[in-house]
Structure 1
Amino acid sequence: MIFYNQVYQYVNSDKDNRIRIIEVDDPIVYYVELHGDTAMPKKISVKTLEDEIDAGVLLAVSDPFLMNHDDKNLTLKQIEKRDEDWAVINGTWGDYKCQLLEKKTRDLAFDQIAENFNLKKLKVKRLFTRFWQRGLNKNALLPDYNKSGGKGKERDLAGANKVGRPRKYALSKEQNQGINITEEVKKQFSHVIKQYYRKKEQITLTETYEYLLRDFYSHKYIEDGEVKYSVWDASRIPSYNQFYYWFKKYEDPQLDISMRKSKKEFDLKHRPILSNSSLETDGPGTRFQVDATIADIYLVSSFNRSLIIGRPVVYGIIDVYSRLFTGVYVGLEGPSWTGAMMALDNMITDKVSYCAEYGIDIDELQWPAKHMPEILIADRGEFEGYSVTSLINNFNIKIENTSAYRGDLKGIIERQFGTINGKIKRKAPGAIQKEYRERGDRDYRLDATLNLKEFTKIVIHLMMQHNQKIIDKYPLEKSMIEDGLVATPLNLWTWGIANKKGRLQVTNDKNIYRLNILPRGKARITRAGIKFKGLSYGSEKAVNEQWYVKLRSTSIEVAYDPRDMDQIYIPSNDGRNFDICFLLDTSKQYKGNMLEEIEFYQEYLEELKAEQFVEQKNNSINTDVAIEEIIKKAKSEKKRLSKPTSKAEQVRNIKVNRLAEKALQREEEKFDLVDRETNVNQKPTQILEFPKAKEEPVKKTSSSLMSKLKRKRDKEFGEDE
């Protein structure tokens, strides 16, 4: 199978002989060689290319230009140059694609483009060469870079124009009593409809007619201090039937509903449905719809089935053309970017291995989806931010965000969620049976039985059943009918790949893809490690390059997985590699925790500190008071002592005084392991006396001080008494 934007390499060639598929128009494939600064598209038959792949002559390889570039890391000059060149490509690739792909018409197309943008023809050739070679995306045009990623096409923004209403009509004469409806009267009708009817208060048409009579066909007077109105006689006023008739003439249901309720109300419940989502695509992979729903069932813990953990979140991604489910995530994350990130990761995951994780054995033909689309239709909120920008610039996956409360814009995935929830309600214990329980009703939450893994297996089975289910009212093409195609998602997917263009992409490096969808944050380099979210991390690169000394207090951008904060990632400037930072021992108490748990613990510790604030201050103050009292008492006792004859005497005896004090301290602190009271009746311990060594004479001052200190000690302990 030949994929759009895939890179292949001829293995029997000594030189760099890689090619990129830039267009698939069965039975022809257009490609461009990845070497040379003016490489032009060439064409080859699909069969020839597939034969070379089957023979092992041509192999699919990783995209050498696939990388992760963030606009924040680019200079203003680089961005300006890229956007300037992108304006040329973006404004001409769609219009001149057919001419540029064919050799006979290519030069004329280049001449016209060069003339339109006042550029040299060689400059235009080089721009298109860079665009084709480096991934058909915006970042392929970055100056001074030889690698980029993804594929590109103009963004298609759809919108509906408001239809105006006519203001002038032919005169109409009523045969009953009343007046003729002139242009002036019709303007009065228009005024009261606009002034009173098309308001959020939603007054009735009858009340609007009464406002018409009050404003234009009545006398105003004051009676008993109150303002009152007197309507003219019937021959001088328009009847309600006349007003209703012209109201229907003026009626604009879209405007009326939008003004009285909301534009979303009209778009969701009243807009005409004259098309089909499948008509907006030209094959599998053109558009994927992604959405999340909270399943109508309560689950139990996988560790203890008596613990109810609430309702799971189900993310689904579906191909608009074929209705095939291409990605799924069942968990407790979201609706949030983390849940959406897991669904996007599953989108490119081989479903055979994914199902095997849950004990479900399938072959690739039963669920062949493992691709990226050209356009992803999603809700606002979780699909806004850096990660989405990264997908756009590096993979050229265009994001079309729907308006709030516009589930109808993702009708396919919304409808399938409804089907899945309906079957779960009918079969699974713990499912929500009523939106509001009445008094006496059993609490269905107590019936919860399934854990998260078991529920995931059920969702997988339901999605696989959907992939093989016949789609009613699918707009089959004539060629589908001629081929006897049964409209199941699997059949439509397979048929579309074989017969339509499509825009399916595959990625050979899942780590780069994940690096693009992981959330980003700012970390700070300190002497105590790389600080992020209150945690300390270490990196081998940081140690080798002496970051902790040279780059202290510098901020760096990191990617992280909020479900496991044991490690974070520093993306490299080349867009392909990254360095891993591991949690240091100083933060090991948070090892194995999610970011939410860590933030909870940190907030909890701060709350504990706040609770102890007064007690801590009291303790500090009382300690200071105790210290000051000790010092005050010591100073008082010192004043009562007779002062030495001179300052020199105080300083001269420091060493001797220390020896005497040490002897006293040893006498007081020495251990005596004999219990005197217990051993009072025992024979006294025999003491062996050794010959006394010759004692050195002690200075008189020291001996006198020693005796004085001993007498003081004996007095304090009452030994003199």
Structure 2
Amino acid sequence: MLAQHSVIDTLGAYGRLKVVWTDWSKDAVFTVDVDDPTSTPETHIGEELEREVVVNGWKVEAGQAPAFIPDHVYIGSAEGNKRARKRAEARTKHLKLRDEAWAIVEPLLATTDVFDRKHRAELVASASTAAIAAGKRGASAATINNNLMKVFHGGMAKDALRPSYEECGNPGDPRPVCEGGKKSGPAPKDGNPRGTPVTEAMKKVFRVGFDLHDAVGKVKLVDAFHHCLRVGFWDAVQKLRQEFGKKIPDAAYERLGLPRYEQFVYHYHRERKRWKAEIKRLGKSVYARRHRPLLGNSTDEAWGPGARYQIDATQIDVYARSRRNRRRLVWRPTLYVVVDVWTRMIVGFALSLDPPSWIGAMTALANAMTSKVEFCAKYGVEIDEEDWPTQHLCAILEGDNGEMKSSGVLGLISQFGVTVGNVTAYRPDWKGIVERRFGLIHAMLKPHVPGFVHADFRERGAEDYRLETAYDLDELTRAIIICVLHYNNRHRIEDYPLLPEMIADKVPAVPAEMWRWGVAALGLPQRAHPEAVKFALLEQGTAVCRRTGLFFKGASYSFADAVDDGWFDKVSMTGRGSVPISFDRRFTDVIYVHDARAPFGFRVAELTDSRFGGASFWELADEQKEANATAAWADLRETAEGIVADKELDDDRRRAQAAMARTPPAPSAAAETSGIREATREEREFDMVEQVSEYHADMSPHATPAPTVLPSACPAAEAAQGRQSNDNHATPSLADRLKGRN
């Protein structure tokens, strides 16, 4: 059954019909066209209209009565400034006009005859006559008819007659101003220049200044205003100077039509929208860091201790001394800090001379997820577990895009189920918790650490703070440990959103106190063995299994279980294999082979080639790069010289073949190949004279033996006389050798 406020989509046949009223006692349905606010009601037989809906497949949407703002909300508060009071007074008058119009229209709605055109005209005429006689406002027949149309389209409610002056004109669009017309806006105060109408031509001049301010970014609005005045009014001012000289009266200046600075600023913000202009001037990332809306806090993203960690790195503002020579300055160390979002507690850190990379992040995360007692004792700080209780895994880890793309995070994901989030570049505000910790640590270090770099470091004549540096890396680490312990256990965080339960339990906004309360109330985070944590944080790779061992980045490794299990024997029969491993780029002596059967999921493979011991994989890569370059040059020289050698060998072959061609041929192939042994003996005896002479020429000039006289008969002729040939190349016997000397 069709209900009031329903909308019938006739699929283009009659438009979209809105049910204004229903009278099922008469089986009547009254509708208007939703998309035409001037349409008059039409009467339908309810049963036939429902049949049309079913037969034609029209769509019926269940509508709702229009919602109007309550009167007290519409009026608003009359307290406050003058503008609020005026608005309240005006809206009170609006409601009075609504009530007066409704008092005339309401009696007409008591009968369904008002929906019929003929009867409606009679009712409106009668109501108009009565209203005029009573001296009421808005009593003309046309006004009453218009109000009826508003009621029909407005849900048959009284508030449909509320005046809507805010829809008049072009709301939001500036009124056009003609040349010489009246200036828009409030009148100037007494004694101030009147200003000038801002026409379209004036706006074009303004836009020159707008573009200068937006494009360059360093030009202030007032300077941009002066620039556009120079562009637009230079000629007019020059004429005034020529006319009046140096003493130009104020009235003459006013006749120039110079705009006021306030007009320039008003139109700038109206056209450019200040926040959009700031994004254009500063860039999206800088604007997001400085001026973005702060609609939430990072604590809402965590549900308790260990839920979410943030990690980031910065170079601390102090140089360091070498631990081997105090007189040697080294670069500013890199500090990695890991912070628990829910408690704001610094759960771990790492200080090193390495630039920001996964190596530093790995060390800081290992520190965050393991006990701190031995770590602090190494630097001379004695603590208990309660002083720094964080040695747990996290559920979510957020870091920079570079570090979080390293293969080292794969272990955290696969072994402990940690969710890793990458923060886009140039958006440190997305890790605002950890970014703020850097400032706190710097603030604590600055008064006590000598050589702290100040803001005037690079200014001319400023003091060179590097010369005051006295701490080495270990001493700086100890200082940071002291700062972290003080922050975790004593520092109260301002504006921390404490939970109602924390307030009831009188928990101060101190990181350690909130950690202990959170662990007791929400549960202890997951904890793992230190060896498993450190193994999970290492970078991952693949080692190739060969007969010579496990080959990884140019070095070979092996371990006892691999030999016992016959890894390298199988490879000789099946070909190469590969195994997943983890490694530390700083150390080539060992790699860790993944093995689910091992206690912590790995086995230690040691380096088998002592040449690479004690080096890093960076050094190994450099050596291989240099060796490959040397080999490439050697191959190039070999190729070039091989061309020359090939040419010489080819020439010798041709000369030898030419000499053979000039030599008379043998009677037969058998005659040429027979007697090889005898020919070899005779040739050796002949060559021996030259060899002995050459060998002893420098030592004994008389060591030259007499040449052996060779027979003149050729092997071919001897073979033809029936001598037995010996061409089996066998070694001659002693008798044969003595016979040959006779």
Shorter-chain TM-score range: 0.5 to 0.7
What is the letter of the counterpart of residue 566 of structure 1? D
**Quick one: which of 561, 566, 581 aligns to 2:584?**
561
- Pair 1:200 & 2:222 matched: no
**Quick one: which of 391, 398, 409 aligns to 1:370?**
391
Listed as ranges, the matches of 1:92-111 within 5 Å are none
**Quick one: which of 484, 489, 498 aligns to 2:511?**
489
**Quick one: which of 139, 150, 172 aligns to 1:167?**
172
What is the letter of the counterpart of residue 200 of structure 1? A
Asked whether the 8 Å contact 2:343–2:511 carries over to 1, the reply is yes
**Quick one: which of 588, 591, 594 aligns to 2:613?**
591
- Pair 1:328 & 2:343 matched: no
Per-residue CA distance 1:583-625 (angstroms, 9 max, x = gap): 443xx42222212111111222234345656655565456557
SS of structure 1 residue aligned to 2:310: strand
- Pair 1:318 & 2:378 matched: no
Aligned-residue offset at 1:351? 0.8
Listed as ranges, the matches of 1:14-33 within 5 Å are none
Query: Could you tell me how far apart the structure 2 residues matched to 1:439 and 1:326 are?
Result: 41
Which of the pair is proportionally richer in helix? Answer: 2
Q: Which is worse superposed, 349-358 or 595-604?
A: 349-358
| 2:309 match | 288
**Quick one: which of 277, 281, 287 aligns to 1:266?**
287
Asked whether the 8 Å contact 1:189–1:247 carries over to 2, the reply is no
Query: Could you tell me how far apart the structure 1 residues matched to 2:678 and 2:441 are?
Result: 93
Listed as ranges, the matches of 1:113-128 within 5 Å are none
Query: Could you tell me how far apart the structure 1 residues matched to 2:454 and 2:230 are?
Result: 52
CA distance 1:658–1:306, change in 2 (3 Å): farther
Query: Could you tell me how far apart the structure 2 residues matched to 1:665 and 1:580 are?
Result: 63
Query: Could you tell me how far apart the structure 2 residues matched to 1:656 and 1:310 are?
Result: 83
What is the letter of the counterpart of residue 286 of structure 1? A
| 1:533 match | 553
Aligned-residue offset at 1:384? 2.5
**Quick one: which of 521, 532, 556 aligns to 2:541?**
521
Asked whether the 8 Å contact 1:186–1:246 carries over to 2, the reply is no
Between the two proteins, the alignment pairs up a number of residues equal to 506
| 1:135 match | none
**Quick one: which of 498, 506, 515 aligns to 2:520?**
498
Asked whether the 8 Å contact 1:297–1:432 carries over to 2, the reply is yes
Greater relative contact order (Cα < 8 A, sep 6+): 1
Asked whether the 8 Å contact 2:338–2:346 carries over to 1, the reply is yes
Query: Could you tell me how far apart the structure 2 residues matched to 1:462 and 1:536 are?
Result: 44
Identity %: 29
CA distance 1:282–1:522, change in 2 (3 Å): closer
Query: Could you tell me how far apart the structure 1 residues matched to 2:369 and 2:682 are?
Result: 84
Aligned-residue offset at 1:361? 2.6
What is the letter of the counterpart of residue 591 of structure 1? G
Aligned-residue offset at 1:329? 1.4
SS of structure 1 residue aligned to 2:588: strand
Aligned-residue offset at 1:317? 0.7
Aligned-residue offset at 1:350? 0.9
Query: Could you tell me how far apart the structure 1 residues matched to 2:174 and 2:644 are?
Result: 93
TM-score by length of 2: 0.55
Asked whether the 8 Å contact 2:206–2:264 carries over to 1, the reply is no
| 1:402 match | 423
Asked whether the 8 Å contact 2:336–2:361 carries over to 1, the reply is yes
Aligned-residue offset at 1:261? 1.6
TM-score by length of 1: 0.56
CA distance 1:447–1:248, change in 2 (3 Å): closer
Query: Could you tell me how far apart the structure 2 residues matched to 1:297 and 1:589 are?
Result: 38
Query: Could you tell me how far apart the structure 2 residues matched to 1:216 and 1:550 are?
Result: 89
Query: Could you tell me how far apart the structure 1 residues matched to 2:637 and 2:602 are?
Result: 47
SS of structure 1 residue aligned to 2:350: strand
Query: Could you tell me how far apart the structure 2 residues matched to 1:656 and 1:450 are?
Result: 90
Aligned-residue offset at 1:319? 1.8
- Where do 5+ consecutive residues of structure 2 fail to align? 1-170, 176-183, 236-252, 701-732
Per-residue CA distance 1:106-145 (angstroms, 9 max, x = gap): xxxxxxxxxxxxxxxxxxxxxxxxxxxxxxxxxxxxxxxx
CA distance 1:187–1:624, change in 2 (3 Å): same
- Pair 1:577 & 2:601 matched: yes
What is the letter of the counterpart of residue 172 of structure 2? R
- Pair 1:391 & 2:412 matched: yes
Listed as ranges, the matches of 1:432-447 within 5 Å are 432=453, 436-437=457-458, 445=466
Asked whether the 8 Å contact 2:369–2:527 carries over to 1, the reply is yes
Query: Could you tell me how far apart the structure 1 residues matched to 2:363 and 2:430 are?
Result: 23
Asked whether the 8 Å contact 1:529–1:548 carries over to 2, the reply is no
Asked whether the 8 Å contact 1:535–1:583 carries over to 2, the reply is yes
SS of structure 2 residue aligned to 1:338: helix
Per-residue CA distance 1:370-402 (angstroms, 9 max, x = gap): 012233332222113544455346534333433
Per-residue CA distance 1:431-456 (angstroms, 9 max, x = gap): 54566446787765566654433433
CA distance 1:643–1:422, change in 2 (3 Å): farther
| 1:22 match | none
Query: Could you tell me how far apart the structure 2 residues matched to 1:463 and 1:310 are?
Result: 23
Query: Could you tell me how far apart the structure 2 residues matched to 1:582 and 1:343 are?
Result: 26
Asked whether the 8 Å contact 1:289–1:318 carries over to 2, the reply is yes
Asked whether the 8 Å contact 2:400–2:422 carries over to 1, the reply is yes
Query: Could you tell me how far apart the structure 1 residues matched to 2:537 and 2:311 are?
Result: 15
What is the letter of the counterpart of residue 289 of structure 1? Q
Listed as ranges, the matches of 1:443-482 within 5 Å are 445=466, 450-475=471-496, 480=502
CA distance 1:659–1:441, change in 2 (3 Å): farther
RMSD: 5.2
Aligned-residue offset at 1:268? 2.0
| 1:152 match | none
Query: Could you tell me how far apart the structure 1 residues matched to 2:459 and 2:300 are?
Result: 46
What is the letter of the counterpart of residue 630 of structure 2? L
| 2:571 match | 548
Q: Which is worse superposed, 413-422 or 336-345?
A: 413-422
SS of structure 2 residue aligned to 1:317: strand
Query: Could you tell me how far apart the structure 2 residues matched to 1:462 and 1:669 are?
Result: 88
What is the letter of the counterpart of residue 330 of structure 1? L
Per-residue CA distance 1:77-131 (angstroms, 9 max, x = gap): xxxxxxxxxxxxxxxxxxxxxxxxxxxxxxxxxxxxxxxxxxxxxxxxxxxxxxx
Query: Could you tell me how far apart the structure 1 residues matched to 2:264 and 2:197 are?
Result: 11
Q: Which is worse superposed, 287-296 or 379-388?
A: 379-388
| 2:96 match | none
SS of structure 1 residue aligned to 2:394: coil
Query: Could you tell me how far apart the structure 2 residues matched to 1:185 and 1:173 are?
Result: 19
| 1:244 match | 265
SS of structure 1 residue aligned to 2:404: coil
